[in-house]
Structure 1
């Protein structure tokens, strides 16, 4: 390739290419990059002209990647992440920030342990500046690629449903069963009722989970309006179940008291693929964690694993 083409390509153009590829949408890429759609479209057109390639097929509401885009994506991602590594290391050397760690938590870890972890880290690692960020897998993955996080802890199965799993190093933290619950007074609980026909209050279902739901079941739930999307607060889902408005999915140790006092009753999940949940630590294979980051990763894994064991043992489950 002519070096003049390389010199004409900017990191910003690579970032826009990555975001369009990942979202399959120019409008979503524009939102992520805080640009207008016209600016993103113009940048993409310029990049395609520089390369002499068509990277995306344009449709009415979205775009789809060409074979050239599929081939170029991992190379662009590597260049972009390494450029961020260069910038980050320069800032660390300038500001002496080697003692800082940025950690992302998925919804469950954040709900159960974020406050407790903050207290423990503050008392046992007072010289380490730790910043926590909560989000869903896609949000955390994006921030990891953008070097806004050093690593994150989230659903283990998500690694199986992304286009570039080889870019990650994963380390399993804990596995635990899931149950469905609702109020014993819920009006939809009639004799012989099919739970899949009942209303459900669920956190936003990530695209990776769709592969675990039989298409017939998912389409049926969607058509009759039984899935309540957008309720990302686990506590809100549990409160809706306690009020008898819906079923929800949770862990037994999160609702032990409510089950014991009769506020909630427990059911086996109707979809076998959802009957357990596991958490893993995600970091980038191409990025070496600082000594402080490695120590914090090991510390968090030890704490969370131990606390899950304690919670399960309280329910007379051997850990």
Structure 2
């Protein structure tokens, strides 16, 4: 099977369009079409349905996509392994949930960069599910996500436990029970956020149905709106400590299992252990020990 044909097929499947794949690969559309037809002839099966709206993978094409992704990744790893020296260098793509990226990683990344300046670090901040997907599809070498994570293709290492607290305006009375927050507006992040899921789980277990919710993009905005009395939220204490010390907000402890939020570092079991990744893992373990 020709690797170039496989790359063209996989890019076309990802883009969902022959014209977009041609732009990505810097090929003529006719060249992309011809290479796909070559691969279909080689395999003896149709890989795409052609229709007025573009193209759609056939069942055979859907099967080949997962194999193509693995094959192309192994080829990239082989090139990287052959060219690797023992000195950490080259790209290191990592992911993290926003709280970890904002509070826990700056010192670690700064120290790592100073020690290994030849490594090109990039950090993607996203929700746990997005990071999981990126790691599983070889887009990231590893990611800091909400744990625990149970997946047969992943290895996880516990990084740190965080305390979660209910956050209100500074003049809000003490919260003795989750029923005290029932009339409050919940200030949350978009669906997929671990803190949002934990807050709703906490309320649902006590039979509480939120009256109203508002969605936001950033922690700074949530903290500012909480401070102004717009509503309440559930956040890691490490994120809101400064605002609490400034007297802008008030933190309320919550009982039981919901008060602990565990962050883990995940990577694929079959990920190539490059010198850059190996050095990062050593620095990470020392940093969080």
Q: Same fold (TM over 0.5)?
A: yes
Q: Is the 8 A contact 2:203 2:209 kept in 1?
A: no
Cα distance, 1:175–1:14 mapped onto 2, change above 3 Å: same
Tell me how far apart the structure 1 counterparts of residues 241 and 225 of structure 2 sit (CA, whole Å).
Answer: 16
Q: Is the 8 A contact 1:81 1:145 kept in 2?
A: no
The one of 74, 77, 85 equivalent to 1:89 is 77
The structure in which a higher percent of residues are helix is 1
The one of 31, 35, 46 equivalent to 2:16 is 35
The one of 68, 93, 98 equivalent to 1:102 is 93
- Does 1:123 pair with 2:114? yes
The structure in which a higher percent of residues are strand is 2
The within-5 A match list for 1:134-149 is 134-149=125-140
Cα distance, 1:135–1:92 mapped onto 2, change above 3 Å: same
**SS of aligned partner of 2:160:** strand
How many residue pairs match? The answer is: 246
Q: Is the 8 A contact 2:92 2:276 kept in 1?
A: yes
The within-5 A match list for 1:149-188 is 149-157=140-148, 159-160=149-150, 165-185=151-171
Cα distance, 1:196–1:295 mapped onto 2, change above 3 Å: farther
Q: Is the 8 A contact 1:181 1:264 kept in 2?
A: yes
Q: Is the 8 A contact 2:77 2:272 kept in 1?
A: no
Tell me how far apart the structure 2 counterparts of residues 198 and 245 of structure 1 sit (CA, whole Å).
Answer: 9
The within-5 A match list for 1:1-319 is 33-35=14-16, 38-39=53-54, 42-43=56-57, 46-47=58-59, 50=60, 77=66, 79-92=67-80, 99=89, 100-157=91-148, 159-160=149-150, 165-185=151-171, 194-206=180-192, 209=197, 212=201, 220-221=209-210, 224-226=211-213, 228-229=214-215, 231-269=216-254, 272-303=256-287, 305=288
Pairwise CA RMSD: 4.0
TM-score by structure 2 length? 0.68
Greater relative CO, 1 or 2 (CA 8 Å, sep 6+): 2
Alpha-carbon shift at residue 295 of structure 1 (Å):
1.9
Alpha-carbon shift at residue 103 of structure 1 (Å):
1.2
Cα distance, 1:198–1:82 mapped onto 2, change above 3 Å: same
